[in-house]
Amino acid sequence: MSRKRNLAAAAAISAAAGFLILQTVTAPAPNSAPAALESETVIIEEPPAVEESVPEQCAYVWAYHDAPDLSQKLDAAVKTLHPNASGRVQFFGEDCVYADGRSTFSAIETDFYVRVPAGDLTDKEALGNWMAQAMPLITEIPREEIEGNYGFVEFWFEQTEAGQVIARVPIQKYMDEARDKTGAELFRLFSAAP
């Protein structure tokens, strides 16, 4: 029995020694960084936060914008042909409208409008000759002053408020097909009038 006692005593002593050893060693606290040696400095840097930029959305809306400099130039030019004529220019394109109300404009074409007093709205020869004199004033404007593509020239021949004839001349078509035309032939090519 003494052997059993000796084994039991040895087991008790071993257990007590193990318990004492465990009491002197402390485990690190959960979620703590490992202890550094006194001679080392540990610097933990976090990468800078990166903001992902999301492009702002806008709604596209057809729009006209006045072209004051070109309007002044056209108005002065058509007045050399008739002192009571007038001209104005607009850029046609799209406004990109943002949620905060601001917008940006992109021109698609440049359009010209000419108003001319006319004595006889049935004189197609005279109306066409007036168009033939006015079109070179527009096609000679430097291309860099035109935003987008060439649009059209809309002629309003006016006798009275109620009496008028309108002819719309697509500028590129005029340059391609009608530069050498005058009079009634030119008028009929671009007029909706019979």
pLDDT on residue 119 = 86
Q: Given this model, what pLDDT does residue 192 score? A: 75
Q: Cα–chain-centroid distance for residue 28?
A: 60
At 25 the pLDDT is 47
Render each residue's pLDDT in the chain as its tens digit; 194 residues: 444 444 444 444 454 444 444 444 444 555 555 454 455 665 666 666 666 665 678 999 999 999 999 999 999 999 999 999 999 999 999 999 999 989 999 999 999 999 999 989 999 999 999 999 999 999 999 999 999 999 999 999 998 767 899 999 999 999 999 999 999 999 999 987 65
Q: Could you tell me how far CA 95 lies from the centroid of its own chain?
A: 7
For residue 148, which of 105, 95, 91 has the smallest C-alpha distance? 91
Per-residue pLDDT, 89? 97
Name every residue whose Cβ is closer than 8 Å to that of residue 87 and which is 6 or more positions away in sequence. 71, 74, 75, 77, 78, 112, 113, 114, 115
Determine the Cα–Cα distance for residues 43 and 102; give it in Å rounded to an integer: 47
**What pLDDT is recorded for position 47?**
65
Q: Cα–Cα distances in Å, from 131 out to 9, 41, 107?
A: 126, 87, 26
131, 132, 136, 138: which is closest to 110 by C-alpha?
Answer: 138
